């Protein structure tokens, strides 16, 4: 039935049309709220994944799930980045295997194999294996690549 049919059908037609429009408007508002919630979830997930990559996470999917479980749906607005960063640090403490090891400050990224360069053979119990260094180098980080190449050169 068209709008003109409702208008021509008598006194109650306008009321029926109004009720129909109110129902459709209510439905559209519900769909818009769902779309906004989906956008907020996607933005939160993107911020979470970016924070995890900055933290040198090895398994972003698993860590992102753990972070989202901690943060929930409360992380919105300008406070969201702080909440996500705090959750990333908490996950790093609880599940350190998900993250690349942090090199001690002041060693310029080459401290992990310092013993190898200073004494020749080095202490292999603290130096990362060549396989681990190769894996880090494949991540695209220039410092990791240099570290791997130096280690490979010194061990051959």
Domain boundaries, the chain: 3-98, 111-155
Q: How far apart are CA 115 and CA 52, in angstroms?
A: 30
Give burial (CB, 10 Å; 0-12/13-18/19+) of 115.
Answer: middle
Q: pLDDT by residue (tens digit) across 33-79?
A: 999 989 888 888 888 888 888 888 888 899 999 998 888 766 666 67
Angle at 87 between CA 81 and CA 91, to 5 degrees: 145
Task: Count the Cβ atoms, other than its own, within 10 Å of residue 83.
Answer: 19
Q: pLDDT by residue (tens digit) across 125-143?
A: 445 577 777 777 777 777 7
Q: How far apart are CA 127 and CA 133, in angstroms?
A: 10
Radius of gyration of the chain (CA): 28
């Amino acid at each position: 039935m068209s709008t003109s049919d409702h208008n021509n059908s008598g006194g109650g037609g306008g009321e029926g049309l109004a009720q129909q429009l109110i129902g459709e408007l209510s439905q559209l508002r519900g769909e818009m709220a769902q779309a906004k919630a989906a956008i907020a979830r996607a933005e939160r997930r993107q911020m979470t994944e970016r924070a995890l990559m900055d933290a040198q996470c090895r398994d972003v999917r698993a860590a992102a799930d753990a972070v989202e479980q901690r943060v929930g749906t409360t992380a919105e607005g300008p406070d969201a980045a702080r909440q996500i960063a705090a959750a990333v640090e908490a996950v790093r403490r609880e599940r350190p295997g998900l993250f690349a090891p942090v090199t001690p400050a002041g060693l310029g990224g080459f401290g992990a194999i310092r013993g190898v360069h200073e004494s020749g053979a080095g202490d292999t119990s603290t130096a990362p294996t060549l396989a681990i260094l190769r894996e880090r180098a494949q991540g695209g980080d220039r410092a990791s690549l240099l570290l791997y190449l130096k280690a490979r050169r010194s061990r051959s």
